Structures are given as structure tokens and as C-alpha cells.
């Protein structure tokens, strides 16, 4: 009796039906434990790899759009997920699910995943090695030596007259990401990067930690958005070193 309880502790002891049945013999406990054990293994041990490769319920396989190695499809603006932090990705999936991060493709997909699914698939992608960048092509028709210089200046120096810090101050040298809150930008799809900055300007992506990116994005002109997106898309990701 004691072993059965401690083995399957929470659901058994918290469940009122089970509490009323506490005169069950050892066999009865074992049968109940088995039933709960099965339910638990289905609901709590979501398999991130399985979700990524075959989907989960109404959610399609992530790899259809994010690539078999989590490399994304740059031209289509489907972001690379490999190498992003697990906590960061989970927060994005939660935001798609509650509709604060607006995207017609990702909202229904995130809604179709349970909390455990979101955690498992985020952990799966975070553990994949970053595919080598760059994954270009560019967004910009404006891109040329001038735009490249604009991108490089914003990335490494910012614009202090406008209290716009350098992107590197938060995203790290070369845009390689810092800790769980400042995502990797290097080698990411240019179309995707530009789309995110535009979304912050428009208020269709939640402000994120301390509202930092809303403030940054609103100081950038549309041309600067394209220039900085191209700049980061062309930098190599960590994995390619």
C-alpha cells in the first residue's frame, strides 16, 4: 500500500475517488496505479522530436516549415529555430497561442499544442546544433554598400543621438545571442528579421522583456529595418565557427 502510494503519489492521493476507495487491496492499487501511469505517460512526457517530425493532434509537423534540422526556410520567412533558447521559444509559442503575437500561420499551430507539448518541442529545438549561416537571401532592393554600412553601424554602434543602443549591446558580438532572453540573430532569415522589427513598430508582436524591442524598433526607419535585417542574415551563426 505504502509503495503504491509513493510510487504514483500525486494523482492518486489528490483524486477524491481514489481517497474514498482507500480500502482497496494491493491489487486494486496496482491496477489504479497502472491506469494513472498510462494516462500520465501520454500527457506529461510529450516527445519534442515526434512533434517536430510528425506533429501533434491538429498541429502539423514543425519541420515542414522550419526544416528537418530546424534551419528554417529563409526565402519564405520561416525562421530558423535551431540554436534559439528553450525559454525564449516557449514564450513565443505561448504568445502565439494567446494571440498577443499575431501571425496567421503560427497562432492556430501553437493553440493546438498543450503546455507540455510547447515545452517539449522548445527543448527539442534548443538542443539542435545551429546550422551554419548565412541562410540569406536578402529582403532589400536597397541593399548595397550604403545599406551594408548603415546595418553595420546600427549593429555595432547604435545611434546615441537618438538614444538607440547598438544591437550588439544586447544580442552579443556578431548577433550570436546572450542567455535566455536575447535571441541569436546571426544567419537568421532576412525576411523574418525585417518582419519582426516591423511587427514591433506596428504593435503586433508583444513587447517582450522590459519592452526593449518596441523602443528599439520604433527608432528605426523602414530602410534601416531592411539594412539591419540583411546585415544579420549574412553573419555566420555560432555553429559555423
Task: List residues near ligand HEC by CB under 6 A.
Answer: 51, 59-60, 62, 64-66, 77-79, 81, 84, 88-89, 91-93, 103, 105-106, 109, 113, 121, 154, 165, 167, 169-171, 181-183, 185, 193, 195-197, 208-209, 212-213, 216, 228
Angle formed at CA 65 by CA 63 and CA 69, multiple of 5 degrees: 40
Cα–Cα distance for residue pair 190/229, rounded to 1 Å: 5
What is the DSSP annotation of 98-141? TTSS--TTHHHHHHTS-HHHHHHHHHHHHHSPPPPS-----S-S
The count of other CB atoms within 10 Å of the CB of residue 135 is 23
- Closest CB to ligand HEC among residues 140, 216: 216
Question: What minimum distance in Å lies between the beta carbon of 89 and ligand HEC?
Answer: 4
Question: What minimum distance in Å lies between the beta carbon of 99 and ligand HEC?
Answer: 12
Question: What minimum distance in Å lies between the beta carbon of 226 and ligand HEC?
Answer: 11
- Closest CB to ligand HEC among residues 27, 161: 161
Question: What minimum distance in Å lies between the beta carbon of 77 and ligand HEC?
Answer: 6
- Closest CB to ligand HEC among residues 93, 235: 93
Q: How far is CA 58 from the centre of its chain?
A: 19
- Closest CB to ligand HEC among residues 29, 78: 78
Q: How far is CA 225 from the centre of its chain?
A: 21
Q: Give the three-class secondary structure for 196.
A: helix
Question: What minimum distance in Å lies between the beta carbon of 135 and ligand HEC?
Answer: 13
Cα Rg for the chain, rounded, in angstroms? 23
Amino acid at each position: 500500500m505504502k509503495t503504491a502510494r509513493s510510487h504514483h503519489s500525486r494523482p492518486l492521493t489528490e483524486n477524491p475517488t481514489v481517497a474514498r476507495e482507500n480500502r482497496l487491496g494491493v491489487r486494486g492499487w496496482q491496477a489504479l496505479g497502472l491506469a494513472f501511469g498510462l494516462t500520465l505517460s501520454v500527457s506529461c512526457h510529450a516527445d519534442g522530436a515526434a512533434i517536430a517530425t510528425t506533429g501533434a493532434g491538429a498541429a502539423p509537423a514543425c519541420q515542414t516549415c522550419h526544416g528537418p534540422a530546424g534551419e528554417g526556410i529563409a526565402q519564405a520567412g520561416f525562421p530558423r529555430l535551431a540554436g534559439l533558447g528553450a525559454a525564449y521559444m516557449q514564450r513565443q509559442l505561448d504568445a502565439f497561442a494567446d494571440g498577443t503575437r499575431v501571425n496567421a500561420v503560427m497562432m492556430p499551430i501553437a493553440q493546438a499544442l498543450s503546455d507540455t507539448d510547447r515545452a517539449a518541442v522548445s527543448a527539442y529545438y534548443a538542443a539542435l546544433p545551429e546550422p551554419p549561416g548565412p541562410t540569406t537571401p536578402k529582403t532589400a532592393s536597397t541593399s548595397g554598400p550604403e545599406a551594408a554600412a548603415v546595418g553595420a553601424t546600427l549593429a555595432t554602434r547604435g545611434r546615441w543621438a537618438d538614444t538607440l543602443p547598438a544591437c550588439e549591446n544586447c544580442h552579443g558580438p556578431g548577433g550570436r545571442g546572450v542567455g535566455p532572453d536575447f535571441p541569436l540573430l546571426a544567419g537568421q532569415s532576412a525576411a523574418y528579421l525585417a518582419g519582426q522589427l516591423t511587427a514591433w513598430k506596428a504593435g503586433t508582436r508583444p513587447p517582450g522583456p522590459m519592452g526593449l524591442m518596441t523602443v528599439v524598433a520604433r527608432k528605426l526607419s523602414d530602410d534601416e529595418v531592411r539594412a539591419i535585417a540583411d546585415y544579420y542574415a549574412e553573419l555566420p551563426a555560432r555553429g559555423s565557427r
